[in-house]
Amino acid sequence: MTFSNKLVAVLNKELPSGVALNALAHMTLGLGAKVGSDRLHLDIYKDRNGLEYPNISQMPFIILRGKSSEIKKLVQQMREHKVAHGAFINTMTGGTYIEQLEKTAKFTDEELVFYGCVAFGPLEELNAMTKKFSLWKD
């Protein structure tokens, strides 16, 4: 099946894997809630015994890597083009979520370190925005 939309993440290549995966999980959860299951082509996989593995997207999910400054520019582009996206920044770790919200409010986007972003949108548009990033590798 060919999809007209793309599902992509760009993670900060300077992060330890555990931190990057935590950011990816949070961003993807939020993006999924925003976009909705129908548009993400979620399906139920079943094994031979009939056990279900629900809510797995039929779409490829491309994971790329880049620097904080590159991710920040990408997020700005996605905002300008109104592409559905999510971002995770350094103030979203440590302490309670209330402390994280308060900490985030003290900084401008120029001062933040971008851990990653996820996006869902038109294939051609996201291809153009993400072409300079390379595939994630550990």
Q: Say how many domains are in the chain.
A: 1
- Residue 138: pLDDT band (50, 70, 90) is confident
pLDDT tens for each residue of 7-16: 999 999 999 9
Residue partners of 23: CB distance under 8 A and separation at least 6 = 11, 12, 15, 88, 92, 115, 116
pLDDT at position 49 over 80: yes
- Residue 1: pLDDT band (50, 70, 90) is confident
- Full-model pTM: 0.94
DSSP string, the chain: ---SEEEEEEEETTS-HHHHHHHHHHHHHHHHHHH-TTTTTEEEEE-TT--EEEEEESS-EEEEEE-HHHHHHHHHHHHHTT-EEEEEEGGGSSS-HHHHHHHHTTS-GGGPPEEEEEEEEEHHHHHHHHTTPEEP--
- Which residues form the domain of 32? 5-135
pLDDT tens for each residue of 50-83: 999 999 999 999 999 999 999 999 999 999 999 9
In contact, 87 and 109? CB cutoff 8 Å? no
Query: What is the CATH number for 80?
Result: 3.40.1490.10
